[in-house]
Structure 1
């Protein structure tokens, strides 16, 4: 079948015959799968054009960056961000156009000012008045000001209602006075704050006329635009070393009686009159909208690419790494031929597809909700979007983190080398389990929404679309009689639906039972929280499988591509059943014998997908520059590149001071004895 053209970055060196044979054995047109992944052939063409611009520009080069210091990483990230802005203007790309979106996705967190672009500007766009948008957004887009989003505090993160930063309206001066009154209220973690930001959108509890109106957003200048010095009442700096993201200047912000002009409160949905009267013009939930949109954006822009890249690296490496004899007397086998290696990697590839499609659906839902709010001031879908994005963020970040680590381990010792690119990916993706909402808290927020919807079912009221299945009938037993039955999407989708329905109902029943026995609501919730978190997870897993099936069944692609996508859909669903077998066996919906059939079907899929494994990950279409992996390049020459890159290590060109100070005397003393 037709193989994709080598990425523009592919080296001129000969392709490793082991990986070349994989591509020659492909059963489908890889370019068609690339187009599907991108959302159409025109988007593929446009993305590649943007990649060419970036890959051919030395400012964006990642060469040798694994050897850089944190300061060098930070400075390079700032340089890239400023340079990209200049490129955007030179090339005439529009800020809301696909070229800019592709550019940011290609460069990812190799750019500084991620929070500035994704959150600071977005928050002003969502919560600011037209006048505020006109004033601040052009300045921010051209980097005449650098902004951050200061929400998380030392003592509080996900629980926004408990934030301790205050903004008190002073009617005499017609401004707000902001304070971080305790050590625990110091803003902590905002990216772009430590060394870069001149301004911050600060989330604070609004007080007027002695009344707290909960959290609101304020634009606060924190550094001088003339010399970058800290302004009066402000204490700001970098929080120090982290597990990863050395190029990001996460910072702290302490405020003592900082006066902010009245017009700096973002006031599209609420405002304060000159006498201190508070005027509400929308839903309280609107203050959470930036978090929701950011959460959806990072799933597609940061979390999923880490898993996709890890799959590319690990599958390609597994096609060229030979280890032990599979058949006695023959040469060492490709490790991808071992069923155990397939079990590690191929479900990760299937999950990448499932999450990619889910991310696209979430982005479409975001656009729909945003339009409803903007044109009709209709906030009715916001709770559903919040609950769905919270649960999906928890599921996708945790699963992707585990998946990247699985890929890293599957590459053996070379996967432990930073030069493989895998530790770099892992250290970045693991952070997503806590930023933009700690995962357990996110699941419990989704669970709270589910419990409210369960109450609607009992009262016969209509349900939001994502939970409408709670009022739908579902079969009591799985009808599978042979293993091929588990290749029927309706059958396994019904299994996921049954499981989610049962767990939601069981959680609701337990809560109700505890309340009837005398428990207060908070206590009943706490002792049910483990069950509730698992319930939210089951709900999200059902939505992902259902979404994959609906998209897959609506496709009209050529048979080879359609077959590959169908197999990946089946593999993702069956992997989830096996991983959560207890839930499916619990009430007899699936029997032990049927679970054996699932296992058999699952193993059959591994063998079928293995044939196309390299071509499937090729369809993710990452350039070698984006992968930045010595073992994951398109040409498959892993060993050569590892050796070449190791020789570039600066330590190899430096004098070994430890030798001079500590080892030399001992070694020289021993020389006469040998």
Structure 2
């Protein structure tokens, strides 16, 4: 689609784009993280979009389960080869992350890139990296990461798979002792991968030292057959991403060399002596890295959904605002604006918080190389909280966008159902959100109780602040609104700690008191993480060097985000005194004003996400806005339309109609 050729576009979208009062390309650069990254993304997208190997002869929704896997594996392998052929100092992981949409139903090789290789980088010592890293980067071996089991997921300490050291032959014996110890869910495990990083309980010298990572060959490198003592398979259809071969794995006393234990942080010596790590969470580093990536991935999913919903809302005309007048664009309805525009604002919240988290992760990684683990608990807390809120926000946001498209949003060709199922899985994988938020709460309570005893990490330093915000003023700056989020979070943490302490003082064991307070603890973790997101949003926009038009749009989006989330949980702000009922009423009115201000810019803002039609894959969200013709053309692709009368009519319907029941 030639974006400069208005003659091919729907007239409504032409009018919407002419209302733009900011530089779209400048905003695109901000979304991408700079001009160079925009150029790189477009270069890669052009390379792949113009490649016929990525085209589907028939829509995937009409393929069998086996054909979907085979088709996506074909494209995944071709993608890896194309990127490898033209890499020149670029990060292949970042390139693939920018290609959301080219592989529409999952990527059987994604865990190889996102977890297996990072696990070797982060958990293997130099000798082990020399043995496996190069081969994995060259795709000579394809790996996955097996932690979750049939009976245990987020509770890593409860894993049952055993790795028992045998010093007589210097080998570990991997064994699956129960059905619940079966490794379950890893992407690529079923049929694709021939290697795996396995998290298993380490036993040596008669003692268990908890979960540790081991690299295990699963299949013969020539025949691809499962090795003796290893049972592999695929777990079957899921809610989404069914082109992935999510798998299961069982061990029957399978032996691996001692040196297959990844020993960067801890090790087992030849005689079985265990050498512990500097920090007991270092072996969870791969999971934390993935959680950092999930925040960025959720922002991309939401970009797709809001692009589709916003363009469709500008094209679709429905009902009447003024009786007897032409049907307006549904984006003119305030209720539609309330559905869509806050989700646009949420995209930028996720982008900016993801970048902040990535910087912290890079800093912690650098410090770990020097043996400094001081910031590891804060990274764990932040990555857990942001993973939880970004996945829940994005999942809900995508669903809101689907609902905003009415019945057509239910069609697979809208790409909203697939976007939703590909997003909502993040709520439960790599750490179930409720459990992660309770881990955040544990960190908050510990930090709150240490006030005055030690210096808190930067993300929790506010817990020592007792500033009052409540005011009779009817106007608050964005900074003042962020302060309201801070006080709300602080109040909830203080309330949770006081309730915990009261129960303990009454004689309850701490773990029982914790469970009794867990709903409140969940709220304080959510409030803390929301405050972090809001603070990074406001700080990023405030410090951004941008043209007036772009700055104004981002400031309005930021303010809308702040007010929107205040109105969703206004009771917490009232209860702690951060805001008064009058403040809330004024902010609710201002939110509606902001929707009206941003409405003329909505189409141009989503245009700045710069998602090509070939990747967006939506009949409703196409650049030219020719929605109805695309819906009709897509319907014609149904296999049922190959004949006027289907065979099933003669087999089942005709006999029923002639049976004279």
The TM tier, using the shorter chain, reads over 0.9
Moved over 6 A (4+): 10-13
Alignment correspondent of 1:266: 262
Distance 2:153 2:417 in 1: 27
Indicate the residue corresponding to 1:497 in structure 2.
486
Counterpart of 2:375 in structure 1 is 381
The residue that corresponds to 1:416 in the other structure is 410
Q: In 1, are the aligned partners of 2:102 and 2:614 still within 8 Å (CA)?
A: no
Separation in structure 2 between the aligned mates of residue 89 and residue 510 of structure 1, nearest angstrom: 56
| Shift in alpha-carbon separation, 1:11–1:201, aligned structure 2, 3 A | farther
Shift of 1:328: 2.1
Aligned to 1:25: 19
Shift of 1:588: 3.4
Q: For the Cα contact (< 8 Å) 1:116–1:146, is it kept in 2?
A: yes
3-state SS, counterpart of residue 498 of structure 2: helix
**Counterpart in the other structure of 2:143:** 147
Check the 8 A contact 1:62/1:625 in 2, yes or no: no
Q: Which residue of 2 aligns with 1:310?
A: 305
Q: 1:392 aligns with which of 355, 362, 386?
A: 386
Equivalence map 1:271-282=2 (5 Å): 271-282=267-278
Aligned pair 1:354/2:336, yes or no? Answer: no
Q: Deviation of residue 666 (structure 1)?
A: 4.9
| 1:479 matched to 2:474 | no
**Partner residue in 1 for 2:209:** 213
Task: Tell me the equivalent position of 2:429.
Answer: 435
Aligned to 2:293: 297
Question: For residue 512 of structure 2, what is the aligned residue in structure 1?
Answer: 523
Matched, 1:75 2:70: yes
Deviation readout 1:152-179 (Å, 9 max, x if unpaired): 0111000001111110000111100011
Partner of 1:3: none
CA deviation profile, 1:250-309 (whole Å, cap 9, x unmatched): 1111111000111100001111111111112432110110000011112213x2211111
Aligned partner of 1:612 in structure 2 is 601
Question: What is the aligned partner in structure 2 of residue 461 from structure 1?
Answer: 454
Instruction: Output one character per residue of 1:545-579: Cα deviation in whole Å (capped at 9) or x when no partner.
Output: 00001011101211111000000000000000000
2:229 matches 1:233: yes
C-alpha distance in structure 1 between counterparts of 2:290 and 2:23, whole Å: 35
**Number of residue pairs the alignment of both structures matches:** 657
- CA contact 2:402–2:416 (8 Å) conserved in 1: yes
Say whether the 8 Å CA contact 2:173–2:254 is kept in structure 1: yes
1:196 matched residue in structure 2: 192
The residue that corresponds to 1:581 in the other structure is 570
Q: Does 1:118 align with 2:107?
A: no
Q: CA deviation at 1:489?
A: 0.9
**C-alpha distance in 1, partners of 2:6/2:12?**
17
User: Aligned Cα RMSD in Å?
Assistant: 1.8
1:101, distance to aligned residue in structure 2 (A): 4.8
Partner Cα distance (1:252, 1:7) in 2 = 46
Whether the 8 Å CA contact 2:472–2:580 is kept in 1: the answer is no
Task: Say which SS state the counterpart of residue 631 (structure 1) adopts.
Answer: coil
Indicate the residue corresponding to 2:332 in structure 1: 337
Is the contact between residue 311 and residue 617 of structure 1 (CA under 8 Å) also seen in structure 2?
A: yes
* Matches for 1:28-177 after TM superposition, within 5 Å: 28-61=22-55, 64-94=59-89, 96=91, 100-101=95-96, 104-105=99-100, 107=102, 110-177=106-173
Query: Alignment partner of 1:157: what SS?
Result: coil
Distance in structure 1 (CA, Å) of the matches to 2:633 and 2:382: 46
Does 1:595 pair with 2:581? no
- The Cα shift of 1:66 comes to 3.4
1:615, distance to aligned residue in structure 2 (A):
0.4
Shift of 1:494: 1.1
Asked if the contact 1:194/1:251 (under 8 Å) is kept, the reply is: yes
- Cα distance change on mapping 1:473 and 1:62 into 2, 3 Å: farther
Segments of structure 2 that go 5 or more residues without pairing to the other structure are: none
Cα deviations by residue, 1:574-602 (Å, 9 ceiling, x for unpaired):
00000001101113332222211011010
C-alpha displacement at 1:70, in angstroms?
Answer: 2.5
Hey, what's the Cα distance between the residues in 2 that align with 1:172 and 1:669?
77
Instruction: Confirm or deny that 1:403 pairs with 2:392.
Output: no
Question: In structure 2, what is the equivalent of residue 559 of structure 1?
Answer: 548
Counterpart-to-counterpart distance in 1, 2:150 and 2:47 = 41
Decide which of 436, 444, 447 is 1:450's aligned counterpart.
444
TM-score in terms of structure 1 length: 0.95
Q: Shift of the alpha carbon at 1:427?
A: 1.1
Deviation sequence 1:599-643 (CA, Å, 0-9, x none): 101000000000100001111111111110011000001101000
| CA deviation after TM superposition for structure 1 residue 62, in Å | 5.4
